[in-house]
A and B are shown apart, each in its own frame.
Chain A
Amino acid sequence: MPAAKTPPARPQATVMLSRVAHSLYWMSRYIERAENLSRLLDVNLQLLLDFQGFTDTSIEEHWESILLSSGDEELFAQHYQTPDSRSVTEFFAFDPRNPNSIRSCVNAARENARMIRDQISAEMWETINELYLYLHDRNSKEVWASGGAGEFFNNVKRSAHLFQGLTASTYSRNEGWEFIEFGKYIERADKTTRILDVKYHILLPTASDVGGAVDTAQWQAVLRSASALEAYRRFYVSEILPWKAAEFLIFSDSFPRSLHFCVAQVDEFLRRILGDTSARPRTEAGRTSRRLLADLQSLTITEVLQEHGLHEFLEDVQKSLDTIGGEMMETTMFYPAESSADVQQQQQQQ
């Protein structure tokens, strides 16, 4: 007869299921994605409204550059004719066919949150649910009709910030938290590269355009898209010099949306997730993250602009981030069989 077993002393289960970790990761990424997208659209719509110096062509170019930087230009072309304020807003805000639209992102975030409902606080769930319902109840026609595009995007941003704030104040600092933060910063880094990339895709201006009103306005929009305009001005001077804006958004170690800052967080949380304290990281994800961080710690903006080219550099960063995210999932999944594959049966007739 075995001795009576006493229940273990732990008050809370200490293991983290792979599925739960990944749901937390994706919930966090999707919310960050929706938030970034709202800001990007808001700023650029505002730009076009405020600034009178745009011609029709340059407006189209402007929206095209945003599409190109998002990587979804082909998908857009399948469903829409010309990129303009309305079509692009529709595509990025509401279109269910776009898996990266704000509505799609919030849906996905909510589904992930629902799957791990027992892990998150009631307020976190209520906030995400309310945002979901808010988006559900709206379509772009209404938003435009009421002239409330700005208000709409503000509401989305605010909800996302509320969610992130609630998470910060109600989620215990355990392994789940590490996945949430890792997801948030990896997404943010990716989005910052795309915000910067917008300017690249605008056809290289002629000599007379450089430094001109349009050029300056566009760089201002880039900074605003990252909520970085005031921080930039405090750091540099009020003049917006393109290479300084790029430098700020790539290398600043204090501005929370800069690539350097985000990747430093990614690296830290990745180390915690993988439990890897060695000087030389043991995983592919760890190595890629360390390399990327080293670049961001040591390269100069001149090197980036002249030796690599801004666009190529940003593309490389995106690829590294992809690798880091993908490898992390593989390593913590315990084995990648969880995919779209369904369980099949095999039988035979006699």
Chain B
Amino acid sequence: MSILSSNYESGNFFDEMFVSPTEVRPHYQRLAGRLGTLAVAEFDQRRAAVDLAFLRRGVTFTVYHDDAGTERIFPFDLIPRVIPNQEWTRIEAGLIQRITALNLFLDDIYHGQKCLKDKIVPPALVLGAKHFRREFMNCTVPQGIYVHICGTDLIRDGAGNYLVLEDNLRCPSGASYMIENRAAMRRAFPNLFASSGVRPVEGYANELLKALLHIAPQRSDKPNVVLLTPGVYNSAYFEHCFLARQMGIPIVEGRDLVVRESHVFMRTTAGLEPVDVIYRRIDDDFLDPLVFRPDSMLGVPGLVNAYRAGHVALANSIGTGIADDKVIYAYVPKLIKYYLGEDAILPNVNTYLPSEPLDRKYVLENIEQLVVKAANEAGGYGMLIGPAATKAECETFRGLVAANPRNYIAQDPINLSRSPTWIDGKLEGRHIDLRPYILYGEKITVTPGGLTRVALRKGSLVVNSSQGGGSKDTWVLQGDQ
């Protein structure tokens, strides 16, 4: 019995693969053909092999309770998500447009603040924001680029339109899974790849390195690029090591670096080695105890001043967090218009801002029907999904929003699209999102595909790894089928 013969229910959602229970979308047909020849037992075998390989290779993330860390595989579903070329072209253009505008926004915010003076964004929202780094005002950044690496989360609504859910401009993660997932798919379905015209993602590390080299200070023709990690106890440590190895660059912790007269050096057995570019996977707060949190043991004293003096480059720059603040998110379409004179190619999800009186009234009165998010939390925490929550939970959030309206946004719940996912021996629809990775170097490149995250629990909309999410490989086709 082939895996496709189970009764698949699309439900009331946009299904990525099926137009109707009997009709597969054109860009999925080749895949469907292959899957149709696979018996359930064989499919399960390949699945088990992939899981084992992941565990062995250490493709894990770590969840820490007490001292012991449990290493978990980020569950991987073998059914890929397929995107035809014409859809991708539009996504790519929209992402490039968005990051261009956000970069201009950051440059403006940290210099003349014209968009505040022109009241495009209420000044109070920016000046009072947690991630607005006033210490970084009026500093020049190499090549004028603030955001070198961005992961933007996209979802599809009931009509199949792509919408931007949020941008991640500080330390976006997951690119390593994108690469490992692709490698796993190749091993599981070697023939299918050769004939499917799937665009490769393996060039990511190379593109990333190029983007990092692009911002190196002019000193040497062999710039020293390093990856700064918080260390083994960070849940994304695997990814840090993975990317460093793929790029062939050293991985360092804060204590391996030292600043001397505003230059940054690495402590090696052969002496102090100059550092030119730091790909930092540490948040601003912990970067430099002299300027930010003084209790941070992860950072490098004097690093900000070295950056300010132009002696070292950081990717992403300091202060990008203001642009992925969920409240600022609501203004991004306006910012695109303001800086580029264009309409946003990829629309936002309709968002209510409790900091505005009319929106606040609406949110407080209708909270049971809305999705409410804290402006600066990540990982799905600090979030209320009204329709799925208890009365008590709604009340709590009502209180939180009323007390601190600037720190929340609300959105109409979107019926996220679903993709067939292998659950307990049969194919079932599960909600997914998409995180493509955008690299801003000499050119802006968007890796074809990205990380498709899937909410594995039935009916759940939460896709984060720490809360029961998994991932799929993402195939962007060269053509349209």
Verify A15–B270 contact, CB threshold 8 A: yes
Q: Which chain B residues border A334 with CB–CB below 8 Å?
A: 267-269, 271-272
- Chain A nearest CB: distance from B274 CB in Å? 11
- Chain A nearest CB: distance from B296 CB in Å? 9
B253-293 contacts to A, CB under 8 A, are 253, 255-256, 258, 266-273, 289
Tell whether A338 is near chain B: CB-to-CB under 8 Å: yes
- Supposing A16-B268, A18-B267, A273-B269 touch, asked if A5 and B213 sit within 8 A by C-beta, the answer is yes
Q: Which chain A residues border B267 with CB–CB below 8 Å?
A: 17-19, 333-335, 338
Verify A15–B266 contact, CB threshold 8 A: yes
- Chain A nearest CB: distance from B267 CB in Å? 5
B219-271 contacts to A, CB under 8 A, are 221-223, 231-232, 241, 244-245, 247-253, 255-256, 258, 266-271
A1-60 contacts to B, CB under 8 A, are 2, 4-5, 7-8, 10-13, 15-19, 21
Verify B269–A10 contact, CB threshold 8 A: no
Verify B210–A175 contact, CB threshold 8 A: no
From A5, A12, A343, contact of B248 by CB (8 A): A12
Give A335 to B259 CA distance when docked, in angstroms: 13
Verify A343–B250 contact, CB threshold 8 A: no
Tell whether B87 is near chain A: CB-to-CB under 8 Å: no
From B56, B214, B244, B269, contact of A18 by CB (8 A): B269
B46-61 contacts to A, CB under 8 A, are 56, 58
Closest to B265 in A: A334
Verify B289–A343 contact, CB threshold 8 A: yes
Q: Mark B322-352, 1 if CB is under 8 A from A, else 0.
A: 0000000000000000000000000000000
Give A289 to B114 CA distance when docked, in angstroms: 67
Verify A13–B250 contact, CB threshold 8 A: yes
Give A15 to B252 CA distance when docked, in angstroms: 11
Tell whether A278 is near chain B: CB-to-CB under 8 Å: no
- Supposing A8-B248, A118-B241, A334-B268 touch, asked if A15 and B273 sit within 8 A by C-beta, the answer is yes
- Supposing A5-B214, A11-B248, A345-B289 touch, asked if A19 and B209 sit within 8 A by C-beta, the answer is no
Give A333 to B143 CA distance when docked, in angstroms: 35
- Chain B nearest CB: distance from A133 CB in Å? 11
Verify A17–B266 contact, CB threshold 8 A: yes
Closest to B250 in A: A13
Tell whether A122 is near chain B: CB-to-CB under 8 Å: yes
Q: Which chain A residues border B138 with CB–CB below 8 Å?
A: none
Tell whether B395 is near chain A: CB-to-CB under 8 Å: no
Q: Which chain A residues border B270 with CB–CB below 8 Å?
A: 15-16, 275, 332
From A19, A122, A333, A335, contact of B56 by CB (8 A): A122
Tell whether B93 is near chain A: CB-to-CB under 8 Å: no
- Chain A nearest CB: distance from B251 CB in Å? 6
From B56, B213, B241, B251, contact of A7 by CB (8 A): B213
Q: Which chain B residues border A4 with CB–CB below 8 Å?
A: 210, 214, 442
Verify B269–A332 contact, CB threshold 8 A: yes
Verify B255–A13 contact, CB threshold 8 A: no
Tell whether B216 is near chain A: CB-to-CB under 8 Å: yes
Tell whether B467 is near chain A: CB-to-CB under 8 Å: no
Give A111 to B168 CA distance when docked, in angstroms: 33
Closest to A116 in B: B232
Of A11, A18, A117, A122, most buried by chain B (CB within 10 Å of CB) is A18
Q: Which chain A residues border B56 with CB–CB below 8 Å?
A: 122
Give A5 to B219 CA distance when docked, in angstroms: 13
Give A8 to B214 CA distance when docked, in angstroms: 13
A93-143 contacts to B, CB under 8 A, are 114-115, 117-118, 122
Q: Mark A262-280, 1 if CB is under 8 A from B, else 0.
A: 0000000000010100000
Verify B250–A17 contact, CB threshold 8 A: yes
Q: Which chain A residues border B271 with CB–CB below 8 Å?
A: 334
Tell whether B301 is near chain A: CB-to-CB under 8 Å: yes
Give A18 to B221 CA distance when docked, in angstroms: 25
Give A334 to B265 CA distance when docked, in angstroms: 11
Give A17 to B268 CA distance when docked, in angstroms: 4
Q: Which chain B residues border A12 with CB–CB below 8 Å?
A: 245, 248
Verify A115–B232 contact, CB threshold 8 A: yes
Q: Which chain B residues border A15 with CB–CB below 8 Å?
A: 250, 266, 268, 270, 273
- Supposing A7-B209, A343-B301 touch, asked if A18 and B245 sit within 8 A by C-beta, the answer is no
Give A239 to B380 CA distance when docked, in angstroms: 75
Verify A19–B256 contact, CB threshold 8 A: yes
Q: Mark A175-217, 1 if CB is under 8 A from B, else 0.
A: 1000000000000000000000000000000000000000000
Tell whether B218 is near chain A: CB-to-CB under 8 Å: yes
- Chain B nearest CB: distance from A180 CB in Å? 13
From A8, A117, A122, A335, contact of B232 by CB (8 A): A117
Q: Which chain A residues border B253 with CB–CB below 8 Å?
A: 19
- Supposing A7-B210, A18-B269, A334-B267 touch, asked if A114 and B250 sit within 8 A by C-beta, the answer is no
Give A175 to B297 CA distance when docked, in angstroms: 28
Closest to A11 in B: B248
A119-170 contacts to B, CB under 8 A, are 122
7 example contacts (A-B, Cβ-Cβ < 8 A) are as follows A5-B221, A7-B247, A13-B249, A15-B273, A118-B241, A335-B267, A345-B295
Q: Which 3 A/B pairs are nearest by Cβ-Cβ distance?
A: A332-B269, A118-B241, A5-B213
